[in-house]
Amino acid sequence: MDDPKPGTFKRGDRVRLLGAPKITGRVTGPIGPLGPKGEEVYQIRLPRKPKPTYLIVLESQMEPIPATA
């Protein structure tokens, strides 16, 4: 199936969660406009040991981490 209509972020982008700046990860993909008023929802992958954790959050909960950071 085609990917849902892309929002601001794309697969592979590094992001941090607003309000929880120590939680950072990579966008694994858009899930679709399933948030309030059709806001885009994303799955992000957090590097954790022994295995990564996945979260599903709203676009407005994330901010990009610049590539140089």
Partner 1 sequence: MPSRAYLRWRHDRSPRLAEVEAQCAATLASAVPNPLLADENLRGYVVLLSSHLQGFCRDLHTECVMAIAAAVPATMRLAIQTLGLSGRELDGANPKFETIRGDFERFALNLSDELSVQPANALWITHVGHLNLWRNYVAHHKIALPAAGGPLTLPTARDWRTSCDGLAAELDRIMYNHLWALIGTVPW
Radius of gyration of the chain (CA): 12
Q: Answer whether 16's CB lies under 8 Å from 2's CB.
A: no
Q: Dihedral angle at the C-alpha atoms of 44, 47, 53, 57, nearest 10 degrees?
A: -20
For the bound state, the minimum distance from the C-beta of residue 37 to partner 1, rounded and expressed in Å, comes to 8
Where along the sequence are the contacts to partner 1 (CB under 8 A)?
Answer: 1, 17, 19-20, 23, 31-36, 38-39, 41, 55-58, 61
Comparing CB distances to partner 1, the nearer of 2 and 68 is 2
Nearer to partner 1, 31 or 65 (CB): 31
